[in-house]
Amino acid sequence: MSRLIKQGHITDDTWLPVNVDIIQPAPGQICNLEQWLQLADRNGSAVQLEPGQEPAPLFDFVEQIQLVVIHFPVFTDGRGFSYARDLRERGYRGELRAAGHFIRDQLTYLQRCGFDAFQMAEESGLEEAVASLRDFSEHYQAAIDQPLPLFRRRTQNKH
């Protein structure tokens, strides 16, 4: 069972990873996008997106999906950051997991874009990596973790 950072803590993964050979994934199994599109019932479903697979097909099911995994095959491909924001801005509230070859120095940015779970290819550094979630205590922009940009909060704090 693999481990991941979830809500700032290290925990075991309870989901089964994508298996392309399964024709009808059972509950508890993460689907790839193709498999997920074939599902008859998407309640409680889990789907993994690859770079190049935009989350638009998921938008009508944001209330039903329980887990979206966004895969980072290489840490320099930043498409997943936008996919995450897309999903959160369209009202997705389930688990949003970054998985793959991202690095701990990206955790703050990933979290700000709406990810709340982090499954790193290299598990050995998880304990140390958690600290990177707290690299910054203040931000200029609005993002998923802080819906108000600093310029709106500055004026609030002044009054």
Partner 1 sequence: MYVYDQYDQKIVDERVAQYRDQTDRFLAGKITEEEFRPLRLQNGLYVQRLAPMLRIAVPYGLLNSKQLRKLAQITRNYDKGYAHISTRQNVQLNWPQLSDVPDILAELATVQMHAIQTSGNCIRNTTTDQFAGVAGDELEDPRPYCEIIRQWSTLHPEFAFLPRKFKIAVCGSDQDRAAIHHHDIGIELVADSLGEIGFKILVGGGLGRTPMIGSVVCEWLDKKHLLTYLEAILRVYNKHGRRDNKFKARIKILVNAMGVEAFREAVEHEWQATKDGPTTLTDEEMIRAREFFDAPDYQVVDGDVARIELDEHCARDRIFGNWVKRNTQVHRVPGYRIVTVSLKATGFAPGDVTAEQLELLAELSDKYAFGEVRSTHQQNLVLADVQTSRLYALWQQLQVAGLATPNIGYLTDIICCPGGDYCSLANAKSLPVAEAIQSRFDDLDYVYDLGPIELNISGCMNACGHHHIGHIGVLGVDKKGQEYYQVCLGGSQSKDASIGNILGPSFKQEDMPDVIDNILSTYVTLREEEESFLETYRRVGIDPFKARVYVQAD
Using CB under 8 A as the criterion, which residues of the chain lie in contact with partner 1 when the complex forms? Answer: 51, 54, 75-79, 81-83, 85-86, 89-90, 103, 105-106, 108-110, 112-113, 125, 135-143, 147-152, 154-155
* Residue 60: CB minimum distance to partner 1, A: 15
Nearer to partner 1, 12 or 138 (CB): 138
* Residue 94: CB minimum distance to partner 1, A: 19
User: Nearest-CA neighbor of 97 among 21, 1, 3?
Assistant: 3
How many CB atoms lie under 10 A from the CB of residue 128?
9
* Residue 127: CB minimum distance to partner 1, A: 13
Nearer to partner 1, 25 or 114 (CB): 114
DSSP string for 8-28: TEEEE--SBPP-TT-SSPPTT
* Residue 98: CB minimum distance to partner 1, A: 12
Residue type at 141 in one-letter notation: Q
How many CB atoms lie under 10 A from the CB of residue 14?
8
Nearer to partner 1, 44 or 73 (CB): 73
Euclidean distance between CA atoms 9 and 127, whole angstroms: 9
* Residues 103, 109, 113: CA angle, nearest 5 degrees: 125
Nearer to partner 1, 93 or 152 (CB): 152
